[in-house]
A = this chain, B = another copy of it.
Amino acid sequence: MPCLEFWFEFGSTYTYPAVMRIEKLAQTAGVTVDWKVFLLGSIFSEQGWSDSPFNIYPAKGKYMWRDLERICTALSIPFVRPSKFPRNGLLASRVACWFASEPWISEFTKAVFSANFAEDREISDPEVVHACLNGLGLDGPRLLEQAQTAESKAKLRTQTEYAKSLGIFGAPTFLVGEEMFWGNDRLEAALAWARTGNKSSSNILSNQDAP
């Protein structure tokens, strides 16, 4: 079955609709999803940014919040603008990185994104991460502890360095082999690419009409 690497960061706004949509769309396309969390802040800091570009450039930020609101409305995804942005997703990222192969990875990721972008909860708070795990019938405190070992921390650092080496500069990013697609609005194109492997197919513009 063709595979799509889904590179995500818990603080990323446009990753929220992508996380909520990807499973169903991938299933329909017959594509498996490889959940790859990374820390975008580490990549931004190399570009000289100590904050989200949506905060550094206010006009762009104002547009993004309105655009995201429109997208969530149209997709019937609940959305509340977080009172703090961006939130630090380090703890959740360690869980999502260490347990990436667990069957609950997608549900956990959706729970954390919903906490941040639908419930305005502080995802850097261990209690919130516990609650996201507990809500899936898992042992939150035990899993979070396992995700905080030196080995787990190193895995996330390595994965973030690997993202950087792949040329990833934002989230969400979808990779089909070396073919990169950036942004929630490229999810359909990435899945079409994964499904057909046809590099010149017009179906990468499933989201656009012909000229």
Contacts of A182 in B (CB 8 A): 63, 67
B75 touches A211 (CB 8 A): yes
CA distance A60 to B75 in the complex (A): 28
How many copies of this chain does the complex contain?
Answer: 2
B60 touches A211 (CB 8 A): no
Which residue on B lies nearest to A205, using beta carbons? B74
B167 touches A63 (CB 8 A): yes
CA distance A168 to B208 in the complex (A): 23
Task: Check: A207 CB closer than 8 A to any chain B CB.
Answer: yes
Task: Check: A140 CB closer than 8 A to any chain B CB.
Answer: no
Task: Check: A21 CB closer than 8 A to any chain B CB.
Answer: yes
- Report the minimal beta-carbon distance from A191 to chain B, rounded to whole angstroms: 10
CA distance A116 to B105 in the complex (A): 46
Quick one: which of A73, A201, A209 has the most chain B CB within 10 A? A209
